[in-house]
């Protein structure tokens, strides 16, 4: 699976290469409850092809109808508002009286309006952070590759939007809990890598189709997860394996490092890691026991608690 933002921009590029006009749609403002977050993308063509999502169906259908019927004039950008009346909310299925503003940017084949797509896709594929600024008066798009991820900004004259690399999750251990966690993570569009030095465990992997990496876990962390869009979670219950991964992960730039285990196990682990010259700040950054305390027992329950904690932290970070 690709990150949805990357998939939308890649598909838009393919349509442009085949000579089709592309309508790139972005949620730039949401008031009340919204089925999809601000910044969500959808790209479509006049023939009705589409990729991405804005609402789960109804808004998309109305937009496609406007596009196919020629209701959008030839200017480069349009801002369309949905949910301005109770009748429209009922017709479109917007929950809780929500209101959406959608930017529709028209991209033309072999035109300056679409020149930014290729460098944007290349940057996202290389796990770089980029910022897109759209001038709503003339549709011009400027890319900036400096700085950290920022929330979308809409002023009525410009739209500024950041695209970050796909979140990568490295699971140390190829057991049943990794199966369950990988299933949830893949469904939520994480890039999942499973590493285990025990070749037999990798051979018996029955989870989703993810990247499997053998060898020492610290090498896997060093090679895969040294940026702020990386997550490392140890799940083997084997201190010899988990500690190697944690020692490297806590010294890396990984955004989140977690370890499975009880509170008693965690205290013993922290004492061992302290002897490996990790600083207090590094040890304090370890999320252990990993996940929210929801009384989980089964592998899927534990996986849910981990994904829930990650979701809460990511929303807070954004």
What would the pLDDT profile of 210-252 be if each residue is shown by its tens digit?
Answer: 999 999 999 999 999 988 889 999 999 899 999 999 999 999 9
Q: Tell me how far apart the alpha carbons of residues 245 and 220 are, in angstroms, rounded to a whole number.
A: 8
Tell me the helix, strand and coil percentages in the chain, rounded to 5: 35, 25, 40
Q: Is omega for the bond preceding 102 within 30 degrees of 0, making it cis?
A: no
pLDDT in tens, 42-73: 999 988 899 998 886 678 888 888 888 877 76
All structural domains of the chain, each given as residue ranges with its CATH number in brackets, are 4-163 (no CATH), 168-317 (3.40.50.720)
Q: Tell me how far apart the alpha carbons of residues 109 and 101 are, in angstroms, rounded to a whole number.
A: 26
In degrees and rounded to multiples of 5, residue 82 shows phi and psi of -120, 145
Model confidence at 131: pLDDT above 70: yes
DSSP annotation of 236 reads S
> Which range, of 7-11, 81-85, 128-132, 156-160, averages the lowest pLDDT?
81-85
With bands split at pLDDT 50, 70 and 90, how would you rate the model's confidence at 155?
A: very high
Q: Tell me how far apart the alpha carbons of residues 137 and 278 are, in angstroms, rounded to a whole number.
A: 53
pTM over 0.75: no
Q: Tell me how far apart the alpha carbons of residues 104 and 76 are, in angstroms, rounded to a whole number.
A: 8
With bands split at pLDDT 50, 70 and 90, how would you rate the model's confidence at 1?
A: very low
Residue of 160, 140, 36 whose CA lies nearest to 98 = 36
Give the per-residue pLDDT at 236: 95
Q: What's the angle, vertex CA 244, arms to CA 231 and CA 234, rounded to 5?
A: 40
Q: Which percentage of the chain shows pLDDT scores above 70?
A: 92
């Amino acid at each position: 699976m690709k990150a949805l933002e990357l998939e939308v921009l890649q598909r838009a590029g393919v349509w442009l290469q085949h000579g089709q006009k592309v309508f790139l749609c972005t949620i730039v403002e949401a008031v009340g409850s919204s089925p999809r977050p601000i910044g969500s993308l959808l790209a479509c063509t006049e023939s009705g092809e589409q990729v991405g999502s804005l609402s789960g169906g109804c808004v998309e259908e109305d937009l496609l109808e406007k596009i196919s019927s020629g209701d959008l004039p030839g200017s480069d950008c349009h801002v369309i508002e949905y949910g301005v009346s109770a009748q429209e909310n009922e017709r479109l299925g917007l929950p809780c009286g929500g209101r959406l503003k959608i930017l529709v940017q028209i991209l033309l084949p072999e035109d300056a309006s679409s020149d930014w797509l290729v460098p944007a896709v290349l940057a996202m594929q290389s796990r770089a952070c980029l910022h897109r600024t759209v001038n709503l008066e003339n549709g011009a798009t400027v890319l900036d590759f400096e700085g950290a991820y920022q929330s979308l900004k809409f002023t009525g004259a410009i739209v500024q939007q950041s695209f970050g690399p796909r979140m990568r999750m490295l699971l140390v251990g190829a057991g049943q809990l990794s199966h369950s966690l990988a299933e949830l993570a893949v469904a939520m569009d994480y890039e999942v890598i499973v590493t285990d030095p025990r070749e037999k465990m990798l051979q018996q992997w029955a989870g989703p189709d993810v990247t499997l990496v053998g060898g020492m876990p610290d090498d896997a962390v060093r090679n895969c997860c040294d940026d702020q869009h990386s997550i490392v979670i140890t799940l083997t219950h084997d201190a010899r394996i988990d500690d190697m991964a944690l020692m490297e992960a806590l010294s890396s730039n990984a955004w989140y490092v977690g370890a499975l285990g009880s509170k008693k196990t965690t205290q013993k682990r922290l004492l061992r890691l302290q002897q490996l010259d990790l600083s207090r700040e590094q040890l304090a950054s370890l999320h252990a026991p990993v996940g929210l305390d929801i009384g989980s027992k089964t592998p899927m329950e534990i996986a849910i608690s981990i994904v829930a904690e990650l979701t809460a932290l990511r929303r807070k970070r954004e």
